[in-house]
Structure 1
Amino acid sequence: MLKKMSIFVVTVALGAANILAQEGQIRNLVNGQKYTIEGVIVDKESDTSFIVRDSVGVDTRVVIAPNASIKNNSPWGGDRYPSNSLVRGLNVKVEGRGDSTGSLATTKVRFDRSNLLTAQSIEARVAPAEERLTAAEENARRVSGQIDELMAISNAARGGAKAAQDTADAAVAGVNATNQRISALDDYVVQSTATVNFRVNSAVLSPEAKMSLDEVAATAASLRGYTIEVTGFASSEGNAQANKALSERRARAVIDYLVTTHNIPLRRIGTSYGYGVLNPVADNRTREGREANRRVEVKLLVSRGINQNVEVRQVEGDNDDTDER
Protein backbone atom coordinates (compact mmCIF):
# COMPACT_ATOMS: atom_id res chain seq x y z
CA MET A 1 0.00 0.00 0.00
CA LEU A 2 2.80 2.45 0.89
CA LYS A 3 4.51 1.69 -2.41
CA LYS A 4 1.32 2.48 -4.30
CA MET A 5 0.85 5.70 -2.38
CA SER A 6 4.36 6.83 -3.42
CA ILE A 7 3.38 6.82 -7.08
CA PHE A 8 2.65 10.43 -8.07
CA VAL A 9 0.45 10.45 -11.19
CA VAL A 10 0.46 13.67 -13.27
CA THR A 11 -2.58 13.74 -15.54
CA VAL A 12 -5.27 16.27 -16.53
CA ALA A 13 -6.17 16.87 -12.87
CA LEU A 14 -2.80 17.93 -11.45
CA GLY A 15 -4.13 19.76 -8.41
CA ALA A 16 -4.60 23.37 -7.41
CA ALA A 17 -0.89 24.27 -7.56
CA ASN A 18 -0.47 23.20 -11.14
CA ILE A 19 -3.78 24.65 -12.28
CA LEU A 20 -2.30 28.11 -11.72
CA ALA A 21 0.96 27.29 -13.53
CA GLN A 22 1.94 29.49 -16.45
CA GLU A 23 2.13 28.01 -19.94
CA GLY A 24 5.66 26.96 -20.82
CA GLN A 25 6.85 26.63 -17.17
CA ILE A 26 9.35 23.77 -16.75
CA ARG A 27 8.36 21.37 -14.00
CA ASN A 28 11.16 20.35 -11.60
CA LEU A 29 10.60 16.69 -10.66
CA VAL A 30 11.64 15.06 -7.41
CA ASN A 31 14.65 12.77 -7.81
CA GLY A 32 13.57 9.12 -7.54
CA GLN A 33 9.82 9.91 -7.47
CA LYS A 34 7.67 7.93 -9.92
CA TYR A 35 5.54 9.92 -12.40
CA THR A 36 3.05 9.34 -15.16
CA ILE A 37 2.59 12.34 -17.47
CA GLU A 38 0.26 12.86 -20.42
CA GLY A 39 0.61 15.70 -22.90
CA VAL A 40 1.86 16.82 -26.31
CA ILE A 41 5.49 16.99 -27.45
CA VAL A 42 6.19 20.69 -28.09
CA ASP A 43 9.98 20.57 -28.59
CA LYS A 44 12.61 17.96 -29.55
CA GLU A 45 15.98 18.66 -27.92
CA SER A 46 17.52 15.47 -29.34
CA ASP A 47 16.49 11.95 -30.40
CA THR A 48 16.38 10.97 -26.73
CA SER A 49 15.16 14.18 -25.10
CA PHE A 50 11.99 16.21 -25.61
CA ILE A 51 9.57 18.57 -23.84
CA VAL A 52 6.00 17.46 -23.00
CA ARG A 53 3.34 20.09 -22.26
CA ASP A 54 0.33 18.88 -20.26
CA SER A 55 -3.27 20.13 -20.44
CA VAL A 56 -2.67 23.02 -18.02
CA GLY A 57 0.35 24.33 -19.92
CA VAL A 58 3.16 23.04 -17.69
CA ASP A 59 6.22 21.58 -19.45
CA THR A 60 8.28 18.56 -18.41
CA ARG A 61 11.67 17.64 -19.84
CA VAL A 62 11.69 13.92 -20.71
CA VAL A 63 14.85 11.87 -21.21
CA ILE A 64 14.42 8.43 -22.78
CA ALA A 65 16.29 5.67 -20.95
CA PRO A 66 18.33 3.24 -23.10
CA ASN A 67 16.00 0.33 -22.26
CA ALA A 68 12.77 2.32 -22.60
CA SER A 69 9.69 0.67 -24.12
CA ILE A 70 8.32 2.87 -26.95
CA LYS A 71 5.09 1.47 -28.40
CA ASN A 72 1.76 2.51 -29.87
CA ASN A 73 -1.45 1.72 -28.06
CA SER A 74 -2.78 -1.51 -29.48
CA PRO A 75 -4.93 -4.33 -28.07
CA TRP A 76 -2.41 -6.76 -29.65
CA GLY A 77 0.59 -5.40 -27.80
CA GLY A 78 1.60 -2.56 -30.10
CA ASP A 79 4.62 -2.08 -32.37
CA ARG A 80 7.97 -0.96 -31.08
CA TYR A 81 9.41 2.35 -32.34
CA PRO A 82 12.85 3.96 -32.17
CA SER A 83 13.15 7.10 -30.07
CA ASN A 84 13.79 9.29 -33.12
CA SER A 85 10.30 8.49 -34.45
CA LEU A 86 8.75 10.73 -31.76
CA VAL A 87 8.00 14.19 -33.22
CA ARG A 88 6.48 17.49 -32.17
CA GLY A 89 2.70 17.51 -32.03
CA LEU A 90 2.47 13.87 -30.87
CA ASN A 91 0.27 13.15 -27.82
CA VAL A 92 2.13 10.80 -25.51
CA LYS A 93 1.86 9.13 -22.13
CA VAL A 94 5.24 8.69 -20.44
CA GLU A 95 6.15 6.87 -17.25
CA GLY A 96 9.37 6.97 -15.27
CA ARG A 97 11.14 8.60 -12.34
CA GLY A 98 12.57 12.04 -11.68
CA ASP A 99 16.33 12.29 -12.12
CA SER A 100 18.99 14.48 -10.52
CA THR A 101 18.39 17.28 -13.06
CA GLY A 102 14.65 17.54 -12.38
CA SER A 103 13.78 15.79 -15.65
CA LEU A 104 11.73 12.62 -16.14
CA ALA A 105 13.85 9.57 -16.98
CA THR A 106 11.19 7.59 -18.82
CA THR A 107 11.13 3.84 -19.30
CA LYS A 108 7.74 3.68 -21.02
CA VAL A 109 6.26 5.79 -23.84
CA ARG A 110 2.81 5.15 -25.29
CA PHE A 111 0.86 6.93 -28.05
CA ASP A 112 -1.83 6.45 -30.68
CA ARG A 113 -0.54 5.22 -34.04
CA SER A 114 -2.86 7.43 -36.13
CA ASN A 115 -1.82 10.42 -34.05
CA LEU A 116 1.85 9.59 -34.77
CA LEU A 117 1.24 9.41 -38.53
CA THR A 118 -0.49 12.79 -38.52
CA ALA A 119 2.21 14.45 -36.42
CA GLN A 120 4.99 13.01 -38.62
CA SER A 121 3.22 14.23 -41.77
CA ILE A 122 2.93 17.76 -40.44
CA GLU A 123 6.52 17.74 -39.14
CA ALA A 124 7.75 16.75 -42.61
CA ARG A 125 5.99 19.80 -44.09
CA VAL A 126 6.75 22.35 -41.39
CA ALA A 127 10.41 21.53 -40.64
CA PRO A 128 11.80 22.53 -44.10
CA ALA A 129 9.84 25.79 -44.06
CA GLU A 130 11.09 26.49 -40.53
CA GLU A 131 14.70 26.02 -41.65
CA ARG A 132 14.24 28.33 -44.66
CA LEU A 133 12.71 31.10 -42.57
CA THR A 134 15.46 30.79 -39.95
CA ALA A 135 18.16 31.20 -42.60
CA ALA A 136 16.36 34.10 -44.30
CA GLU A 137 15.86 36.06 -41.08
CA GLU A 138 19.30 35.28 -39.57
CA ASN A 139 18.05 32.72 -37.04
CA ALA A 140 15.74 35.35 -35.54
CA ARG A 141 12.59 33.35 -34.92
CA ARG A 142 10.55 30.23 -35.67
CA VAL A 143 7.66 29.88 -38.00
CA SER A 144 4.93 31.92 -36.30
CA GLY A 145 2.33 29.84 -34.52
CA GLN A 146 3.91 26.52 -35.48
CA ILE A 147 3.57 24.88 -32.07
CA ASP A 148 -0.07 25.92 -31.71
CA GLU A 149 -0.83 24.47 -35.14
CA LEU A 150 0.83 21.17 -34.25
CA MET A 151 -1.05 20.92 -30.96
CA ALA A 152 -4.33 21.63 -32.74
CA ILE A 153 -3.55 18.94 -35.32
CA SER A 154 -2.69 16.32 -32.73
CA ASN A 155 -5.87 17.06 -30.76
CA ALA A 156 -7.95 16.91 -33.94
CA ALA A 157 -6.49 13.50 -34.80
CA ARG A 158 -8.16 12.02 -31.74
CA GLY A 159 -11.49 13.45 -32.84
CA GLY A 160 -11.58 11.50 -36.09
CA ALA A 161 -9.98 11.34 -39.52
CA LYS A 162 -12.04 14.19 -41.01
CA ALA A 163 -11.21 16.62 -38.21
CA ALA A 164 -7.52 15.72 -38.48
CA GLN A 165 -7.54 16.25 -42.25
CA ASP A 166 -9.22 19.66 -41.93
CA THR A 167 -6.63 20.79 -39.42
CA ALA A 168 -3.78 19.43 -41.56
CA ASP A 169 -5.08 21.46 -44.51
CA ALA A 170 -5.02 24.55 -42.32
CA ALA A 171 -1.41 23.81 -41.38
CA VAL A 172 -0.47 23.48 -45.06
CA ALA A 173 -2.09 26.85 -45.71
CA GLY A 174 0.05 28.30 -42.93
CA VAL A 175 3.20 26.85 -44.52
CA ASN A 176 2.18 28.30 -47.90
CA ALA A 177 1.74 31.70 -46.26
CA THR A 178 5.21 31.35 -44.75
CA ASN A 179 6.66 30.53 -48.17
CA GLN A 180 5.03 33.64 -49.62
CA ARG A 181 6.53 35.69 -46.81
CA ILE A 182 9.99 34.29 -47.54
CA SER A 183 9.57 35.16 -51.23
CA ALA A 184 8.77 38.75 -50.20
CA LEU A 185 11.99 39.21 -48.20
CA ASP A 186 13.63 40.97 -51.16
CA ASP A 187 10.54 43.09 -51.92
CA TYR A 188 11.41 46.52 -50.53
CA VAL A 189 8.82 49.28 -50.27
CA VAL A 190 9.13 52.92 -49.21
CA GLN A 191 8.21 53.40 -45.55
CA SER A 192 8.98 57.14 -45.35
CA THR A 193 10.79 59.90 -47.23
CA ALA A 194 12.59 63.04 -46.16
CA THR A 195 14.11 65.96 -48.09
CA VAL A 196 16.85 68.23 -46.76
CA ASN A 197 17.97 71.38 -48.57
CA PHE A 198 21.31 73.19 -48.81
CA ARG A 199 22.60 76.68 -49.42
CA VAL A 200 24.23 77.69 -52.69
CA ASN A 201 27.46 75.74 -53.35
CA SER A 202 27.26 74.15 -49.86
CA ALA A 203 27.21 70.57 -48.56
CA VAL A 204 26.86 71.58 -44.90
CA LEU A 205 23.81 70.30 -43.01
CA SER A 206 21.72 72.99 -41.31
CA PRO A 207 20.11 72.45 -37.88
CA GLU A 208 16.75 71.97 -39.61
CA ALA A 209 18.24 69.33 -41.92
CA LYS A 210 19.72 67.46 -38.95
CA MET A 211 16.33 67.46 -37.20
CA SER A 212 14.76 65.90 -40.29
CA LEU A 213 17.47 63.20 -40.37
CA ASP A 214 16.95 62.58 -36.66
CA GLU A 215 13.35 61.64 -37.46
CA VAL A 216 14.51 59.24 -40.18
CA ALA A 217 16.91 57.52 -37.75
CA ALA A 218 14.22 57.27 -35.05
CA THR A 219 11.82 55.61 -37.50
CA ALA A 220 14.53 53.20 -38.70
CA ALA A 221 15.25 52.13 -35.11
CA SER A 222 11.71 50.71 -34.85
CA LEU A 223 11.99 48.63 -38.03
CA ARG A 224 13.57 45.34 -39.06
CA GLY A 225 15.03 44.60 -42.48
CA TYR A 226 15.29 48.24 -43.55
CA THR A 227 17.63 50.03 -45.97
CA ILE A 228 18.22 53.74 -46.60
CA GLU A 229 18.55 55.25 -50.08
CA VAL A 230 20.31 58.63 -50.29
CA THR A 231 20.39 60.73 -53.50
CA GLY A 232 21.87 64.20 -53.92
CA PHE A 233 20.91 66.99 -56.35
CA ALA A 234 21.97 70.50 -57.30
CA SER A 235 20.43 73.54 -58.94
CA SER A 236 21.51 74.64 -62.41
CA GLU A 237 23.89 77.45 -61.42
CA GLY A 238 27.50 76.89 -62.41
CA ASN A 239 29.31 74.06 -64.18
CA ALA A 240 27.42 70.77 -64.64
CA GLN A 241 30.42 68.64 -63.63
CA ALA A 242 30.99 70.74 -60.50
CA ASN A 243 27.30 70.45 -59.64
CA LYS A 244 27.46 66.66 -59.91
CA ALA A 245 30.42 66.57 -57.52
CA LEU A 246 28.54 68.94 -55.19
CA SER A 247 25.44 66.69 -55.21
CA GLU A 248 27.64 63.71 -54.28
CA ARG A 249 29.17 65.66 -51.37
CA ARG A 250 25.69 66.54 -50.15
CA ALA A 251 24.65 62.87 -50.23
CA ARG A 252 27.85 61.95 -48.39
CA ALA A 253 27.17 64.59 -45.72
CA VAL A 254 23.77 62.99 -45.04
CA ILE A 255 25.28 59.48 -44.81
CA ASP A 256 28.07 60.69 -42.52
CA TYR A 257 25.51 62.25 -40.17
CA LEU A 258 23.34 59.12 -40.02
CA VAL A 259 26.36 56.85 -39.41
CA THR A 260 28.32 58.98 -36.93
CA THR A 261 25.41 60.52 -35.01
CA HIS A 262 22.89 57.67 -35.02
CA ASN A 263 25.14 54.61 -35.56
CA ILE A 264 23.25 53.49 -38.65
CA PRO A 265 25.16 50.38 -39.86
CA LEU A 266 26.87 50.81 -43.23
CA ARG A 267 25.09 47.68 -44.48
CA ARG A 268 21.81 49.60 -44.06
CA ILE A 269 22.89 52.29 -46.55
CA GLY A 270 21.55 50.63 -49.66
CA THR A 271 22.08 53.24 -52.42
CA SER A 272 23.91 56.57 -52.59
CA TYR A 273 24.24 58.70 -55.73
CA GLY A 274 24.71 62.29 -56.83
CA TYR A 275 22.55 63.30 -59.80
CA GLY A 276 23.86 66.84 -60.15
CA VAL A 277 21.38 69.03 -62.05
CA LEU A 278 19.35 66.05 -63.27
CA ASN A 279 15.79 65.33 -62.05
CA PRO A 280 14.88 68.83 -60.78
CA VAL A 281 11.70 69.09 -58.71
CA ALA A 282 11.14 72.77 -59.56
CA ASP A 283 11.91 75.36 -62.22
CA ASN A 284 15.58 76.42 -62.11
CA ARG A 285 14.65 79.75 -63.69
CA THR A 286 13.13 80.94 -60.42
CA ARG A 287 14.79 81.55 -57.08
CA GLU A 288 12.29 79.32 -55.27
CA GLY A 289 12.82 76.55 -57.81
CA ARG A 290 16.60 76.62 -57.42
CA GLU A 291 16.23 76.52 -53.63
CA ALA A 292 14.07 73.40 -53.91
CA ASN A 293 16.52 71.70 -56.29
CA ARG A 294 19.50 72.09 -53.93
CA ARG A 295 18.51 69.01 -51.97
CA VAL A 296 19.15 65.45 -50.80
CA GLU A 297 16.30 62.95 -50.84
CA VAL A 298 16.33 60.23 -48.16
CA LYS A 299 14.10 57.17 -48.60
CA LEU A 300 13.59 54.64 -45.82
CA LEU A 301 12.67 51.28 -47.37
CA VAL A 302 11.64 48.09 -45.60
CA SER A 303 11.36 44.45 -46.58
CA ARG A 304 7.71 43.53 -47.06
CA GLY A 305 8.52 39.94 -46.06
CA ILE A 306 9.81 40.95 -42.61
CA ASN A 307 7.55 43.96 -41.96
CA GLN A 308 4.05 42.79 -42.85
CA ASN A 309 2.22 46.07 -42.17
CA VAL A 310 4.05 48.84 -44.01
CA GLU A 311 2.72 52.08 -45.36
CA VAL A 312 4.27 54.97 -47.22
CA ARG A 313 4.43 58.10 -45.08
CA GLN A 314 5.71 61.44 -46.35
CA VAL A 315 8.04 63.35 -44.02
CA GLU A 316 8.20 66.98 -45.07
CA GLY A 317 11.73 68.36 -45.53
CA ASP A 318 12.70 71.90 -44.51
CA ASN A 319 14.11 74.45 -46.96
CA ASP A 320 17.32 75.65 -45.34
CA ASP A 321 18.24 78.30 -47.91
CA THR A 322 16.18 81.47 -47.78
CA ASP A 323 18.83 83.89 -49.06
CA GLU A 324 20.32 83.25 -52.48
CA ARG A 325 23.98 84.21 -52.77
Structure 2
Amino acid sequence: MKLINKVTASMLLAAVAIPASAVAAQPTEAMDPITIEGQLPADLDELPEGPKIKGFITARNGAQMQVMSEDGTNVSVLVAEATKVRSTGGFLGLDKDKLTTDALLSGLPVTVETAQWGGGLVATKVSMKDKDLKTALMIQNGTAQRFDQQDTAIAENAAATEALRGRFGDIDQYNVKSQTSVYFDTGKWALSSSDEVRLCEAAAEADAMDNALLLVVGYTDSVGDEDYNQVLSERRAGRVVNYLQQKCGWAPYRMLTPTGMAESDPAADNETEEGKALNRRVTVNILVSKAVDGMEQAGL
Protein backbone atom coordinates (compact mmCIF):
# COMPACT_ATOMS: atom_id res chain seq x y z
CA MET A 1 0.00 0.00 0.00
CA LYS A 2 1.47 3.36 -1.04
CA LEU A 3 0.92 5.99 1.65
CA ILE A 4 1.17 9.69 0.90
CA ASN A 5 4.74 10.87 1.50
CA LYS A 6 5.64 13.42 4.16
CA VAL A 7 6.05 16.31 1.71
CA THR A 8 2.68 15.64 0.08
CA ALA A 9 1.01 15.17 3.46
CA SER A 10 2.41 18.48 4.70
CA MET A 11 1.10 20.28 1.61
CA LEU A 12 -2.36 18.74 1.97
CA LEU A 13 -2.63 19.39 5.69
CA ALA A 14 -1.49 22.97 5.21
CA ALA A 15 -4.27 23.42 2.69
CA VAL A 16 -6.90 21.78 4.92
CA ALA A 17 -5.61 22.66 8.35
CA ILE A 18 -9.03 22.64 9.95
CA PRO A 19 -11.77 20.02 9.69
CA ALA A 20 -15.02 20.72 7.91
CA SER A 21 -18.10 20.26 10.06
CA ALA A 22 -21.87 20.10 9.85
CA VAL A 23 -21.83 23.77 10.83
CA ALA A 24 -18.87 25.14 8.94
CA ALA A 25 -18.91 25.32 5.16
CA GLN A 26 -16.04 23.64 3.46
CA PRO A 27 -14.03 26.34 1.70
CA THR A 28 -15.26 26.75 -1.85
CA GLU A 29 -14.97 29.44 -4.45
CA ALA A 30 -17.09 32.47 -3.65
CA MET A 31 -20.70 32.17 -4.75
CA ASP A 32 -21.61 34.07 -7.88
CA PRO A 33 -24.29 36.49 -6.66
CA ILE A 34 -27.79 35.93 -8.02
CA THR A 35 -29.46 39.11 -9.24
CA ILE A 36 -33.02 39.33 -7.90
CA GLU A 37 -35.38 41.57 -9.83
CA GLY A 38 -38.44 42.34 -7.76
CA GLN A 39 -39.71 40.29 -4.83
CA LEU A 40 -39.33 36.55 -4.52
CA PRO A 41 -42.70 34.91 -5.24
CA ALA A 42 -44.94 34.26 -2.26
CA ASP A 43 -46.51 31.22 -3.98
CA LEU A 44 -44.11 28.70 -5.52
CA ASP A 45 -46.69 26.10 -6.52
CA GLU A 46 -47.42 27.65 -9.93
CA LEU A 47 -43.79 27.94 -11.04
CA PRO A 48 -42.29 25.48 -13.58
CA GLU A 49 -40.64 22.53 -11.89
CA GLY A 50 -36.84 22.56 -11.67
CA PRO A 51 -34.31 19.80 -10.97
CA LYS A 52 -34.02 17.96 -7.66
CA ILE A 53 -30.58 18.48 -6.10
CA LYS A 54 -29.12 16.05 -3.58
CA GLY A 55 -25.89 16.99 -1.83
CA PHE A 56 -24.74 19.20 1.03
CA ILE A 57 -24.85 22.93 1.71
CA THR A 58 -21.49 24.57 1.08
CA ALA A 59 -22.41 28.22 1.64
CA ARG A 60 -25.24 30.55 2.70
CA ASN A 61 -25.53 34.25 1.97
CA GLY A 62 -28.87 35.88 2.73
CA ALA A 63 -31.51 34.49 0.38
CA GLN A 64 -28.91 32.57 -1.62
CA MET A 65 -27.77 29.01 -0.83
CA GLN A 66 -25.09 26.96 -2.56
CA VAL A 67 -25.35 23.16 -2.68
CA MET A 68 -22.66 20.75 -3.88
CA SER A 69 -24.52 18.01 -5.74
CA GLU A 70 -23.54 14.33 -5.80
CA ASP A 71 -21.49 14.83 -8.98
CA GLY A 72 -19.40 17.54 -7.31
CA THR A 73 -21.08 20.49 -9.05
CA ASN A 74 -21.95 23.60 -7.02
CA VAL A 75 -25.51 24.80 -7.65
CA SER A 76 -26.84 28.15 -6.38
CA VAL A 77 -30.53 28.42 -5.48
CA LEU A 78 -32.66 31.10 -3.88
CA VAL A 79 -34.49 30.49 -0.59
CA ALA A 80 -37.85 32.25 -0.29
CA GLU A 81 -40.23 32.72 2.62
CA ALA A 82 -42.45 30.13 0.93
CA THR A 83 -39.65 27.55 0.84
CA LYS A 84 -40.62 24.53 2.97
CA VAL A 85 -37.84 23.26 5.24
CA ARG A 86 -38.49 19.83 6.71
CA SER A 87 -36.69 16.98 8.45
CA THR A 88 -37.66 13.32 8.45
CA GLY A 89 -39.11 13.61 11.99
CA GLY A 90 -39.17 15.93 14.98
CA PHE A 91 -36.62 15.91 17.80
CA LEU A 92 -35.84 18.11 20.81
CA GLY A 93 -39.26 19.73 20.48
CA LEU A 94 -38.82 20.74 16.85
CA ASP A 95 -41.82 20.33 14.56
CA LYS A 96 -40.73 18.82 11.26
CA ASP A 97 -43.33 20.90 9.38
CA LYS A 98 -42.28 24.22 10.90
CA LEU A 99 -38.51 24.40 10.51
CA THR A 100 -37.26 27.79 9.39
CA THR A 101 -34.48 28.61 6.94
CA ASP A 102 -32.21 29.09 9.98
CA ALA A 103 -31.94 25.29 10.00
CA LEU A 104 -30.09 25.40 6.65
CA LEU A 105 -26.60 25.22 8.13
CA SER A 106 -23.48 24.97 6.00
CA GLY A 107 -22.24 21.40 5.69
CA LEU A 108 -25.72 19.90 6.18
CA PRO A 109 -26.67 17.09 3.75
CA VAL A 110 -29.95 18.03 2.05
CA THR A 111 -32.31 17.22 -0.79
CA VAL A 112 -33.57 20.36 -2.54
CA GLU A 113 -36.66 20.45 -4.75
CA THR A 114 -36.60 23.51 -7.00
CA ALA A 115 -38.69 25.61 -9.35
CA GLN A 116 -37.59 27.80 -12.23
CA TRP A 117 -37.87 31.53 -11.62
CA GLY A 118 -36.16 34.61 -13.04
CA GLY A 119 -33.70 32.63 -15.13
CA GLY A 120 -32.50 30.66 -12.11
CA LEU A 121 -33.73 28.28 -9.43
CA VAL A 122 -35.68 28.84 -6.23
CA ALA A 123 -35.99 26.13 -3.58
CA THR A 124 -39.57 24.93 -3.07
CA LYS A 125 -38.69 22.33 -0.44
CA VAL A 126 -35.50 21.46 1.46
CA SER A 127 -35.42 18.08 3.22
CA MET A 128 -32.86 16.71 5.66
CA LYS A 129 -32.41 13.85 8.08
CA ASP A 130 -33.05 14.29 11.80
CA LYS A 131 -29.65 12.94 12.78
CA ASP A 132 -27.80 15.34 10.47
CA LEU A 133 -29.69 18.38 11.74
CA LYS A 134 -29.27 17.25 15.34
CA THR A 135 -25.52 16.90 14.86
CA ALA A 136 -25.29 20.32 13.22
CA LEU A 137 -27.20 21.99 16.05
CA MET A 138 -25.18 20.19 18.73
CA ILE A 139 -21.93 21.41 17.20
CA GLN A 140 -23.26 24.93 16.74
CA ASN A 141 -24.47 25.19 20.34
CA GLY A 142 -21.54 23.33 21.87
CA THR A 143 -18.57 25.23 20.49
CA ALA A 144 -16.66 27.20 23.10
CA GLN A 145 -16.49 30.14 20.75
CA ARG A 146 -19.95 31.33 19.60
CA PHE A 147 -19.55 32.78 16.15
CA ASP A 148 -21.67 35.16 14.18
CA GLN A 149 -23.26 33.88 10.96
CA GLN A 150 -21.50 36.63 9.02
CA ASP A 151 -18.03 35.39 10.00
CA THR A 152 -15.87 34.02 7.23
CA ALA A 153 -15.72 30.28 6.55
CA ILE A 154 -12.27 30.23 8.15
CA ALA A 155 -13.62 31.61 11.42
CA GLU A 156 -16.50 29.12 11.35
CA ASN A 157 -14.13 26.22 10.77
CA ALA A 158 -11.89 27.41 13.59
CA ALA A 159 -14.81 27.31 16.03
CA ALA A 160 -15.81 23.81 14.92
CA THR A 161 -12.20 22.68 15.25
CA GLU A 162 -12.11 23.73 18.91
CA ALA A 163 -15.18 21.59 19.60
CA LEU A 164 -13.59 18.58 17.94
CA ARG A 165 -10.17 18.94 19.54
CA GLY A 166 -11.54 19.06 23.07
CA ARG A 167 -9.02 17.96 25.66
CA PHE A 168 -6.30 17.19 23.16
CA GLY A 169 -5.27 20.81 22.76
CA ASP A 170 -3.59 22.17 19.65
CA ILE A 171 -3.37 19.39 17.04
CA ASP A 172 -1.41 20.35 13.94
CA GLN A 173 -0.01 17.06 12.68
CA TYR A 174 -1.51 13.70 11.86
CA ASN A 175 -0.40 10.12 11.41
CA VAL A 176 -1.72 8.30 8.33
CA LYS A 177 -3.13 5.08 9.74
CA SER A 178 -4.52 3.65 6.49
CA GLN A 179 -5.32 4.59 2.90
CA THR A 180 -7.96 3.37 0.44
CA SER A 181 -7.96 4.30 -3.26
CA VAL A 182 -10.78 4.11 -5.78
CA TYR A 183 -10.25 4.53 -9.53
CA PHE A 184 -12.14 6.22 -12.36
CA ASP A 185 -12.58 6.06 -16.12
CA THR A 186 -11.13 8.87 -18.24
CA GLY A 187 -13.03 12.11 -17.67
CA LYS A 188 -15.50 10.45 -15.27
CA TRP A 189 -16.27 10.67 -11.56
CA ALA A 190 -18.88 7.91 -11.17
CA LEU A 191 -18.24 5.21 -8.56
CA SER A 192 -18.48 1.50 -9.31
CA SER A 193 -20.41 -0.81 -6.99
CA SER A 194 -17.16 -2.38 -5.79
CA ASP A 195 -15.75 1.07 -5.03
CA GLU A 196 -18.85 1.89 -2.99
CA VAL A 197 -18.30 -1.23 -0.89
CA ARG A 198 -14.64 -0.33 -0.33
CA LEU A 199 -15.51 3.19 0.77
CA CYS A 200 -17.94 1.96 3.42
CA GLU A 201 -15.33 -0.54 4.57
CA ALA A 202 -12.83 2.32 4.94
CA ALA A 203 -15.40 4.36 6.91
CA ALA A 204 -16.05 1.39 9.20
CA GLU A 205 -12.30 0.94 9.74
CA ALA A 206 -11.94 4.62 10.65
CA ASP A 207 -14.99 4.51 12.92
CA ALA A 208 -13.31 1.78 14.95
CA MET A 209 -10.44 4.20 15.73
CA ASP A 210 -10.88 6.83 18.41
CA ASN A 211 -10.75 10.41 17.10
CA ALA A 212 -10.02 9.38 13.49
CA LEU A 213 -10.62 11.87 10.68
CA LEU A 214 -10.86 11.29 6.93
CA LEU A 215 -8.94 13.25 4.31
CA VAL A 216 -10.22 12.75 0.75
CA VAL A 217 -7.93 13.74 -2.14
CA GLY A 218 -8.78 13.57 -5.84
CA TYR A 219 -6.31 13.12 -8.72
CA THR A 220 -6.27 12.83 -12.51
CA ASP A 221 -3.91 11.50 -15.15
CA SER A 222 -2.01 13.86 -17.46
CA VAL A 223 -4.69 13.94 -20.19
CA GLY A 224 -6.32 17.38 -20.55
CA ASP A 225 -5.26 20.87 -19.51
CA GLU A 226 -4.54 22.00 -15.97
CA ASP A 227 -7.83 23.83 -15.37
CA TYR A 228 -9.92 20.90 -16.62
CA ASN A 229 -8.01 18.42 -14.48
CA GLN A 230 -8.33 20.59 -11.39
CA VAL A 231 -12.13 20.68 -11.71
CA LEU A 232 -12.23 16.95 -12.52
CA SER A 233 -10.15 16.05 -9.45
CA GLU A 234 -12.42 18.17 -7.24
CA ARG A 235 -15.53 16.49 -8.65
CA ARG A 236 -14.08 13.06 -7.98
CA ALA A 237 -13.21 14.04 -4.40
CA GLY A 238 -16.68 15.57 -3.92
CA ARG A 239 -18.38 12.42 -5.22
CA VAL A 240 -16.47 10.28 -2.72
CA VAL A 241 -17.21 12.67 0.16
CA ASN A 242 -20.92 12.60 -0.66
CA TYR A 243 -20.99 8.81 -0.72
CA LEU A 244 -19.08 8.50 2.57
CA GLN A 245 -21.47 10.88 4.30
CA GLN A 246 -24.78 9.91 2.74
CA LYS A 247 -24.38 6.15 2.26
CA CYS A 248 -21.64 5.11 4.69
CA GLY A 249 -22.85 7.31 7.57
CA TRP A 250 -19.60 9.21 8.06
CA ALA A 251 -20.23 12.42 10.05
CA PRO A 252 -19.33 15.66 8.18
CA TYR A 253 -17.54 17.09 11.21
CA ARG A 254 -15.05 14.17 11.12
CA MET A 255 -14.03 15.02 7.56
CA LEU A 256 -11.11 17.25 6.66
CA THR A 257 -11.78 19.54 3.71
CA PRO A 258 -11.64 17.48 0.47
CA THR A 259 -8.91 18.51 -1.95
CA GLY A 260 -8.38 18.21 -5.71
CA MET A 261 -4.73 17.83 -6.71
CA ALA A 262 -5.26 17.38 -10.49
CA GLU A 263 -2.31 15.48 -12.01
CA SER A 264 0.20 16.22 -9.23
CA ASP A 265 1.80 13.45 -7.16
CA PRO A 266 1.19 10.67 -9.74
CA ALA A 267 1.05 7.12 -8.38
CA ALA A 268 2.46 5.71 -11.64
CA ASP A 269 3.99 6.70 -14.98
CA ASN A 270 1.63 8.81 -17.10
CA GLU A 271 3.40 7.62 -20.25
CA THR A 272 1.55 4.29 -20.17
CA GLU A 273 -2.15 3.47 -20.20
CA GLU A 274 -1.69 1.30 -17.11
CA GLY A 275 -0.03 4.18 -15.29
CA LYS A 276 -2.74 6.64 -16.28
CA ALA A 277 -5.40 4.25 -14.95
CA LEU A 278 -3.65 4.18 -11.56
CA ASN A 279 -3.45 7.98 -11.50
CA ARG A 280 -7.19 8.52 -12.09
CA ARG A 281 -7.98 8.03 -8.42
CA VAL A 282 -9.30 9.35 -5.16
CA THR A 283 -7.51 8.43 -1.95
CA VAL A 284 -9.29 8.22 1.40
CA ASN A 285 -6.73 8.72 4.15
CA ILE A 286 -7.52 7.75 7.74
CA LEU A 287 -5.76 10.24 9.98
CA VAL A 288 -5.23 10.36 13.73
CA SER A 289 -3.49 13.30 15.38
CA LYS A 290 0.04 12.52 16.49
CA ALA A 291 -0.85 13.79 19.97
CA VAL A 292 -3.78 11.38 20.30
CA ASP A 293 -1.88 8.54 18.63
CA GLY A 294 0.98 8.97 21.06
CA MET A 295 -1.36 8.90 24.05
CA GLU A 296 -3.01 5.70 22.83
CA GLN A 297 0.33 3.98 22.22
CA ALA A 298 1.42 4.99 25.72
CA GLY A 299 -1.78 3.47 27.13
CA LEU A 300 -3.12 6.76 28.45
**Please, what TM-score do these two structures have when normalized by structure 1?**
0.38
Structure number with bigger Rg: 1
Whichever structure has more helix as a proportion of its residues is 1
